[in-house]
Amino acid sequence: MRVALYGGSFDPPHVAHVMAATYLISVGGFDRVLVVPVFSHPFAKALAPYERRLRLCELALGWMPGVEISAVERSLETPSLTLRTLQHLQTAHPDWQMRLVVGSDVLAETGKWHAFDEVRALAPPLVLGRVGHPHPAAGPEVLPQVSGTEVRDLLARRAEPEAAARLGALVPSQVLEYIEQHAMYRG
């Protein structure tokens, strides 16, 4: 089985995440896209609570055929390391042929990752081009220029009509509803 491992903070998930999963299923030739929200960020990034981000991923992506939201990192040693997650998945699913999905904006950070050469050997990266972040290893720019940082900034200013309108274009409606219901990202 060909599996795309799509990890990240998903803090919160936005339209580029949805577009990436759609691309992987429709064009990438994968049988499954495994969305893996990070449990404990290895660079000590402050994140919204894990269970909330997991639920946001379910709302944003879980409805898509071929996409599965995984809580695998909840049960692994912390901080979460991509290599540790891949090793666990390889042991649990020896029949999987895994590829690690990364955006072209992330390639500059792989030097900071734990044992990236081993990660590359277990799940060769599939680099999705992101507008504004050209890279020779990436294909065409299939992801828009949007980030969790931008979305969190807009959420902090959501009372402003311009910020609210932009949020409506960048974040799935069910995700925005959940964020409001649970008073998340209040700045």
Residue 187 pLDDT class (50, 70, 90 cuts) = low
Q: What is the pLDDT of residue 137?
A: 77
164 located within any domain: no
What domain range is 95 assigned to? 2-143
Hey, is 81 helix, strand or coil? Answer: coil
121 located within any domain: yes
20 located within any domain: yes
118 located within any domain: yes
How many separate domains does the chain show?
A: 1
165 located within any domain: no
175 located within any domain: no
Q: What tens digit of pLDDT does each residue of 94-124 get?
A: 999 999 998 877 777 777 778 888 988 999 9
139 located within any domain: yes
| pTM value > 0.85 | yes
59 located within any domain: yes
How far is it, in rounded angstroms, from Cα 171 to Cα 12? 8
Q: What CATH number is attached to the domain comprising 97? A: 3.40.50.620
Any alpha helices (H) in the chain, and if so which ranges? 15-26, 50-61, 82-92, 116-122, 148-156, 161-170, 173-181
Q: What tens digit of pLDDT does each residue of 49-72 get?
A: 999 999 999 999 999 999 999 999
